[in-house]
């Protein structure tokens, strides 16, 4: 009996814990504006964190290169045992043994300071600063790409959730029609075929709702991963605070902004500057290097002449001039490579410029196409809704067949979905236009 009570209590506890876990895992809805989306992306997105770290690495490298301006200082200390000297003749016969002080040590300090090397250090620092600027530009480009990706998912989620609402409203209408057809069939006013078609249409709408719901889950999962949010949050997008008034500027306006602000264009300029700086660095190898040096030495014992256990101290100060003669015939080849790299960077900039011009054209045309389609879809949606209302009224009065009301219902559904798509596409294509102009 006690065992029975024990297992019963254990089962109840496991059941309670299981229910508590299930409740904890329930999806929580969260209304999120597009501004909150951007903040979450900037704070949590892993790709942006990686790009930020790249900027920090580039900044640290500048500090490392600047240390080349400082003098090189080295020191060494040694202590040793020095044996006595044994002298042999050429036949290796021992002739004499000379006693020496057996304990010895040395102390040396050396310092070198580069005075002139054709500006190599300053040019290396400038090159590192250009690399940092390029990393910052790449961070900006990554941030805008991530924002575009996030907004596309955000608007897609908005569209899907509203599709679901439209489908559910149409399913409610279909359920009422199914009830009406059953009533008419029971009254022998219509054939069974019409009732069956009503049921099929209702189930088709149920299938469409299931498909859209699944797409909502997938899109929401991708969006939570991108923004670094908990996977149990269901994001509810809103476009109420999005300024999507129609822009009147022409294509030339957006093209000029893109040529001045698009990160890919500015990145191309930096690649050219880096290639030119590399050429300057290569050319510095043709110049001599001038350095100042100083040193101090202390040695014990003295073995020159009569051995004596004393320190001998010396120091030296001077200038050294060095020149790599091989640069006369080697550097021309290196400089030729650097010049080709500059030409390549300039060609790549032109290719990027042409691509941006094409992207601006496509984004601008798609934006205005979406505006025009929305104007038509609003009229079509109103007409389709009115057509459905009239057809349904006629059907209730047995003035039209059920095929006509199905056509009217499908027309109404497609018009509503199309109006939703066009509304979303206006915002989406304007966002893409901002992305290509570098202003997202």
- Where is 108: in which H helix or E strand? strand 103-116
Q: Are residues 268 and 370 in the same domain?
A: yes
Q: Please give the tally of structural domains in the chain.
A: 2
293, with CB counted inside 10 A (0-12, 13-18, 19+), is middle
> Which has the closest alpha carbon to 142: 67, 233, 49, 266?
49
> Which has the closest alpha carbon to 110: 76, 79, 78, 80?
76
Domain holding 401, by residue range, is 32-70+117-288+323-437
Tokens of residue 221, six digits:
């999962």
Give Cβ neighbours of residue 27 (< 8 Å, ≥ 6 apart): 232, 233, 234
Q: Is residue 2 part of a domain?
A: no
Q: Is residue 27 part of a domain?
A: no
> Which has the closest alpha carbon to 370: 425, 428, 430?
425
Boundary residue ending a domain (307, 322, 337):
322
Which is it for the CA torsion 17, 19, 20, 24, positive or negative? positive
Task: Encode pLDDT of 223-261 as tens digits.
Answer: 999 998 888 999 999 887 776 667 778 889 999 999 999
The radius of gyration computed from the CA coordinates of the chain, to the nearest angstrom, equals: 41
Task: Encode pLDDT of 294-341 as tens digits.
Answer: 998 988 888 777 778 888 888 899 998 888 888 888 888 899 999 999
Distances (CA, A) of 258 to 119, 172, 265: 36, 48, 8
> Which has the closest alpha carbon to 120: 289, 5, 337, 248?
289
Q: Are residues 50 and 155 in the same domain?
A: yes
At residue 131, the pLDDT reads 93
Q: Is residue 381 part of a domain?
A: yes
Q: Is residue 239 part of a domain?
A: yes
Q: Are residues 417 and 333 in the same domain?
A: yes
Q: Do 108 and 313 meet the contact criterion of CB atoms below 8 Å apart?
A: no
- For the ranges 7-21, 29-43, 360-374, 382-396, the lowest mean pLDDT is seen at 7-21
Q: Are residues 273 and 187 in the same domain?
A: yes
Average pLDDT value for residue range 70-96 = 84
Q: Is residue 25 part of a domain?
A: no
Q: Are residues 282 and 315 in the same domain?
A: no
**φ and ψ of 312, to 5 deg:** -115, 125
Give Cβ neighbours of residue 255 (< 8 Å, ≥ 6 apart): 357, 360
Q: Are residues 165 and 313 in the same domain?
A: no
Instruction: Report the CATH number at residue 169.
Output: 1.20.1600.10
Q: Is residue 48 part of a domain?
A: yes
Interatomic CA distance for residues 193 and 400, integer angstroms: 15
Mean pLDDT of the chain: 86
Q: Are residues 169 and 213 in the same domain?
A: yes
Q: Are residues 95 and 132 in the same domain?
A: no
Q: Are residues 308 and 361 in the same domain?
A: no
DSSP assignment letter at 25: T
DSSP assignment letter at 246: P
Task: Encode pLDDT of 112-136 as tens digits.
Answer: 988 888 888 899 999 999 999 999 9
> Which has the closest alpha carbon to 114: 72, 66, 62?
72
Q: Are residues 258 and 360 in the same domain?
A: yes
Confidence of residue 4 (pLDDT cuts 50, 70, 90): very low
Percent of the chain predicted with pLDDT > 70:
93
Interatomic CA distance for residues 109 and 315, integer angstroms: 9
Residue showing tokens 């992305």: 435
Q: Is residue 261 part of a domain?
A: yes
Q: What's the pTM?
A: 0.79
- Higher-confidence residue: 90 or 204? 204
Q: Is residue 379 part of a domain?
A: yes
User: Which range, 16-30, 93-107, 155-169, 401-415, is most confident?
Assistant: 155-169
Q: Are residues 85 and 132 in the same domain?
A: no
Q: Are residues 402 and 352 in the same domain?
A: yes
């Amino acid at each position: 009996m006690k065992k029975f009570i024990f297992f019963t209590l254990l089962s109840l506890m496991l059941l309670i814990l299981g229910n508590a876990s299930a409740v904890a895992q329930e999806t929580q809805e969260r209304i999120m504006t597009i501004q909150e989306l951007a903040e979450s992306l900037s704070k949590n997105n892993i790709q942006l964190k990686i790009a930020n770290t790249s900027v920090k690495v580039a900044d640290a490298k500048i500090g490392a290169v600047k240390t080349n301006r400082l003098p090189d200082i080295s020191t060494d200390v040694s202590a040793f045992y020095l044996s006595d000297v044994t002298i042999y003749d050429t036949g290796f016969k021992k002739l004499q043994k000379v006693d020496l002080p057996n304990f010895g040590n040395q102390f040396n300090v050396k310092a070198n300071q580069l005075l002139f090397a054709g500006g190599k250090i300053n040019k290396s620092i400038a090159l590192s600063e250009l690399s940092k600027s390029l990393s910052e530009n790449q961070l900006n480009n990554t941030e805008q790409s991530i924002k575009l990706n996030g907004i596309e998912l955000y608007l897609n989620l908005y569209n899907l959730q509203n599709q679901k609402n439209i489908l559910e409203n149409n399913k409610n209408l279909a359920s009422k029609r199914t009830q009406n057809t059953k009533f008419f069939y029971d009254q022998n006013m219509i054939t069974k075929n019409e009732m069956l078609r009503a049921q099929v249409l209702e189930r088709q709408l149920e299938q469409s709702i299931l498909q859209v719901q699944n797409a909502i889950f997938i899109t929401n999962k991708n969006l939570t991963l991108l923004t670094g949010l908990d996977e149990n949050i269901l994001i509810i997008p809103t476009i109420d605070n999005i300024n999507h008034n129609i822009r009147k500027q022409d294509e030339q306006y957006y093209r000029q902004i893109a040529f001045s602000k698009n990160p890919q264009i500015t990145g191309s300029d930096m690649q050219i500057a880096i290639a030119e700086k590399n050429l300057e660095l290569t050319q510095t190898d043709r110049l001599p290097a001038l350095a100042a040096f100083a040193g101090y030495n202390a040695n014990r014992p003295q073995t020159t002449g009569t051995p004596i256990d004393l320190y001998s101290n010396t120091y030296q100060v001077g200038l050294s001039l060095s020149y790599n003669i091989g640069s006369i015939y080697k550097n021309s080849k290196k400089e030729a490579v650097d010049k080709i790299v500059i030409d390549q960077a300039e060609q790549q900039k032109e290719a990027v410029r042409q691509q941006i011009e094409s992207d601006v054209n496509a984004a601008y045309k798609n934006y205005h196409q979406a505006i025009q389609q929305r104007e038509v879809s609003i009229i079509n949606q109103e007409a389709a809704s009115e057509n459905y209302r009239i057809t349904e009224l006629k059907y209730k009065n047995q003035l039209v067949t059920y095929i006509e009301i199905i056509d009217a219902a499908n027309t109404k559904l497609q018009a509503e979905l199309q109006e939703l798509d066009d509304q979303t596409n206006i915002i989406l294509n304007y966002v893409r236009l901002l992305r290509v102009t570098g202003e997202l």
